[in-house]
Amino acid sequence: MKRVVGYIFWDFNKNLDKKAFEKVAKKKNIELITFNLSEDINEEKIEEKVKKCDILFNNSAEEFAIELVKTVEELGKIVVDSSETFYYTEDKWVFFLKCKENKLSTLNTILLSENLNLAKEELKKFDCWPVILKRVRGCSGEYVEKADNLNEAQKIIKKFWGKSSERIPIIAQEFVSSPSYRITTIGDKIVQTAIKEGTGWKHTGVFGNRFKKLKIDKDLKNLINKTIKIMKINICGIDLLKKDNKWVLLEVNSSPGIDFFKNDREKLAGEILDFLVEKVNK
């Protein structure tokens, strides 16, 4: 039976991911129905297209994507990954709490008050300079900045608040000088590794510009397996750092990039499509 897979994406990066999925889907005799979040799509059109799909894959970390995912779920279709998974893995504060609860190694983190004076007192008590300030939601390294002192931290907080009509909560996190290590998984299988390096202190998101592959040792494999199980995520990119030569989790991304290595793009698109079809068949 020919399967129909919905593909949710944002129109950027010259559609290279979309082109890879379309090319591989054709080879595998899978019909691919696309949902471009940057277009004007109304509810009737969405419902009409969703009804044709056996399963959908969300390949966008944009805020609007979660609304489409929830809409699709209300129409009774499975989306990988679900809106619940998206909320609880993409929220950086909740991710820290889950790591702490399950004794997964991660960075010391606090949630800052929306009152600036209280936030400054919390940072004084945290006393971990330099400190990384992040909004609890964000992708591609946006709204992530380093403060060397309280005065800089105050300016960054005001800057974050000034960029939006709402005050999205901010966390403060200890700074660790380390490359960013990315492990991409599909189901319980590790399908790609990458060491991300850049010219500045920030290597995650679009700031990493040099990539090489990473060998997986036993300790790292165990940490990855435990993380996948706890976060209940199907397709993800796990970012790690090294602190005192030991692995620490930074975050988990439910719409991982597949573009670190040019030759891997179609291979990973194929692995994802195979996983989706297998999930439907089960």
For the stretch 144-188, pLDDT in tens is 999 999 999 999 999 999 877 678 999 999 999 999 999 999 999
Is residue 236 predicted with pLDDT exceeding 50? yes
Is residue 278 predicted with pLDDT exceeding 60? yes
Q: How confident is the model at residue 130 (pLDDT cuts 50, 70, 90)?
A: very high
Give the residue extent of every domain in the chain.
4-80, 87-105+177-253, 109-174
Confidence at residue 257, expressed as pLDDT on a 0 to 100 scale: 86
Helix (H) or strand (E) holding 134: strand 131-135
CATH topology of domain 109-174: Dna Ligase; domain 1 (3.30.1490)
DSSP strands (E only) in 204-280: 210-212, 235-243, 246-253
Confidence at residue 210, expressed as pLDDT on a 0 to 100 scale: 66
pLDDT (tens digit per residue) in 59-106: 988 878 889 999 999 999 999 999 988 877 789 999 999 999 999 999
In sign, the C-alpha dihedral spanning 28, 34, 38, 39 is: positive
- DSSP 3-state assignment of 23? helix
Tokens found for residue 246: 């030991």
CB 216 within 8 A of CB 265: no
Confidence at residue 209, expressed as pLDDT on a 0 to 100 scale: 53
Q: What is the mean pLDDT of residues 186-211?
A: 75
Q: Could you give phi then psi for residue 5, rounded to 5 degrees? A: -115, 130
We find that the CATH architecture of domain 4-80 is 3-Layer(aba) Sandwich (3.40)
The torsion defined by the Cα of 22, 28, 32 and 37, in degrees rounded to 10, comes to -50
**Residue % of the chain over a pLDDT of 70:** 93
CATH topology of domain 87-105+177-253: D-amino Acid Aminotransferase; Chain A, domain 1 (3.30.470)
Predicted structure pTM score: 0.89
